[in-house]
Amino acid sequence: MAKVKTTFFCQNCGSQFAKWQGQCNACKEWNTIVEEVIQTPEKSDWKSPTSKVKKAAVPLRIKDIDMSNEARLDTMDGEFNRVLGGGIVPGSLTLLGGEPGIGKSTLLLQISLKLPYKTLYVSGEESQKQIKMRAERINPNNNNCYILTETKTQNIFKQIEALEPDIVIIDSIQTLHSDYIESSSGSISQIKECTTELIKFAKETATPVLLIGHITKDGNIAGPKILEHMVDTVLQFEGDRNHVFRILRAHKNRFGSTNELGIYEMQGSGLREVSNPSEILISKKDEELSGNAIAATLEGMRPLMIEVQALVSTAVYGTPQRSATGFNAKRLNMLLAVLEKRAGFRLGAKDVFLNITGGINVDDPAIDLAVVASILSSNEDVALQKDICFAAEVGLSGEIRPVQRVEQRILEAEKLGFSTIYVSKYNKISLKKTAIKIQLISKIEDLVTMLV
């Protein structure tokens, strides 16, 4: 019998050590090093000698590489295509993470049922009957989707070889295990080994693989950090289970932008694409309320109109509170200092609470002017008109700075029926005829004069 070999891995970063120690030398975390059993027998390839390889593993000059057959695969889901950069790239490995119950499995099962390609959905967490019950609610009329309940990678590759699917979906990577590693499923060594086998399969056959990954209580993908380095795309599915809207973001994308955003609405029949998110991010009110302002922002190439809510009240406990939801708290403090210094508003003894509606996080500096307007509105208890919006950055000296792609923001505001938009007068605007009034301002004092 072969001697059992063990080694020590850091559960946080995946670093390997010869013996146990309290602190990881790589990531400096304490008590994250655990012992795992490993075994390195002679490895056989994932494929048999008779299987066909679609890509030749030979070096080619970059100008000789043929891109004619590398068209992206359309997922038939506009939001998913947008976040990926136009569709699934053949041979790519995509990792989708998110909290339990947020809808990761539902999203990929829904996409697999829409695809016109032969799709293999491998589940290590649910039985085939459980998946069938969910599929019945989404779209049962699909003959291209095959369901496999298996956790052993060698058995999965045998079925892949027999079926020859165009796309493979794994739910989830933490449930898989390989015979070449003796540790349990979900361990550092098993995740690395299984992902390596899937990468080799994807690259040699040009078959895209989509993985579902569990996350830790900190919101990071469970397993070693190297997992996110190995895959081509890392997607995060976010949202509150108490609300119906879900947001899909790309944290890493080798084939497109990481600034794009996909928005879904969870319904009984699955996830519905939200093609016009501005409608859901702006609340519908009959009466005008103080402290509300509308900002024109951008997420990737998509313009969004979002609602900024502010509440300014006298501090009761002596020390004023500064709280921001969906907005950088340090930037809020900077804008309050500018208001106090340049506009003469005494906010040092008042509590200020800020909220971006819809549960999204915005880091676009173009919403600075809307934040300032909502704070002024709440402080003076004067409601802003419902048909005005803002798109400008505020500088430390109180100047209104220009923002990029302002014309796209103006056209979005016009499409949604706004009558006036406040922008920096230093923006170069070439729009000739617009139904919306463009109000140009240069200093924060101008905004105070117009609104208060």
Is 104 labelled as part of a ligand binding site?
yes
**Residue 375 corresponds to which amino acid?**
I
For residue 183 the two structure tokens come to 């540790």
The CB density around residue 247, as the number of other CB atoms within 10 Å, is 21
Q: In 106-217, at which residue ranges do the beta strands (DSSP E only) sit? A: 119-123, 145-149, 167-171, 209-213
Please name which of 371, 378, 372, 431 lies closest in space to residue 406, comparing C-alpha atoms. Answer: 431
What are the φ/ψ torsions at residue 28 (nearest 5 degrees)?
65, 20
* Phi, psi angles (nearest 5°) of residue 206: 60, 30
Please check whether residue 278 is in contact with residue 412, taking contact to mean a CB–CB distance below 8 angstroms. Answer: yes
Is residue 103 within 8 Å of 111, Cβ to Cβ? no
CA gap 347, 448 in Å, rounded:
15
91 carries a ligand binding annotation: no
Residue 101, annotated ligand binder?
yes
Sequence-ordered alpha helix ranges (H) in 252-293: 278-281
Q: Which residues contact 1 (CB under 8 A, 6 or more apart)?
A: none
323 is in an annotated binding site: no
Longest dimension (CA), the chain: 85
Query: CB under 8 Å, gap of 24 or more: what pairs does 276-282 form?
Result: 277/302, 277/304, 277/358, 278/303, 278/304, 278/305, 278/306, 278/412, 278/416, 279/416, 280/245, 280/358, 281/305, 281/306, 281/307, 281/357, 281/358, 281/360, 282/306, 282/307, 282/357, 282/416
| CA angle at 104 for the pair 101 and 110, rounded to the nearest 5° | 120
281 contacts 304 by C-beta, under 8 angstroms: yes
Report the distance separating Cα 58 and Cα 44, nearest Å.
21
- Show the CA angle centred on residue 436, arms to residues 435 and 437, nearest 5°: 120
Q: Which residues pair with 121 in a beta bridge?
A: 147, 169
* Contacts with 327 (C-beta within 8 Å, 6 or more apart), sequence order: 308, 354, 356, 361, 362, 367, 371
Q: Is 217 annotated as a binding residue?
A: no
The answer to whether 99 is a known ligand-binding residue is: yes
* DSSP SS3 for 147: strand
Which residue, among 99, 135, 91, 126, has the nearest Cα to 213 in the 3D structure?
99
Binding site: which residues?
98-105
Binding site for ATP: which residues?
98-105
